[in-house]
Amino acid sequence: MALQDKYKELIDAATAAGVNNLQVRDQDGVLYIDGTTGSGAVKDKLWDIYNKIDPDFRTGDLILNIDASGAAGTKAKVTTQSSNLNIRKGPGTDQPIVGKAAHGEVIDVISKANDQWSLVRTAKGEEGYVYSQYLTQV
């Protein structure tokens, strides 16, 4: 099965949601879906569809790179014990770390992916998912 067929529902959802500059390409056995959105909820919905197609994101045949840096949200303080909070590419500990938020730092919460994960952005512009347990609304 071709990757674009496997992830058709995801591509269609990105198109229907109005993801800007949507680019889909198949390279070396990996499907890349890139674009931008002003809504963290759109990005979360796409990750939910991805998780339905590939539970626990195990196949490694898709790179979903949807930038929601234009989305507005609330502020939260990083309330880890003392360490930095990992910011991940997707909502799961198996996702690559794309940045860190310092203990006590106030960050923007764009949206909640589910009860455990929030899509956030730091003052430096790092964007990704963090474990919501370590955030306190300010």
The answer to whether the beta carbons of residues 24 and 33 sit under 8 Å apart is: yes
What is the per-residue pLDDT across 113-122, written as a single tens digit (0 to 9) for each? 777 899 999 9
Handedness of CA 35, 58, 119, 130 (dihedral sign): negative
Residues belonging to the chain: 138
What is the per-residue pLDDT across 50-107, written as a single tens digit (0 to 9) for each? 999 988 778 889 999 888 866 667 889 999 998 999 999 999 999 999 999 999 999 9
Q: What is the pLDDT of residue 58?
A: 82
Model confidence, pTM: 0.65
| Residue among 104, 111, 101 at smallest CA distance from 41 | 111
Domains of the chain: 3-67 (3.30.70.1770), 74-137 (2.30.30.40)
The answer to whether the beta carbons of residues 70 and 37 sit under 8 Å apart is: yes
Strand, helix or coil for residue 53: helix
For 90, left (φ over 0), alpha (ψ -120 to 50), or beta? beta
Residue 128 has pLDDT above 90, yes or no: yes
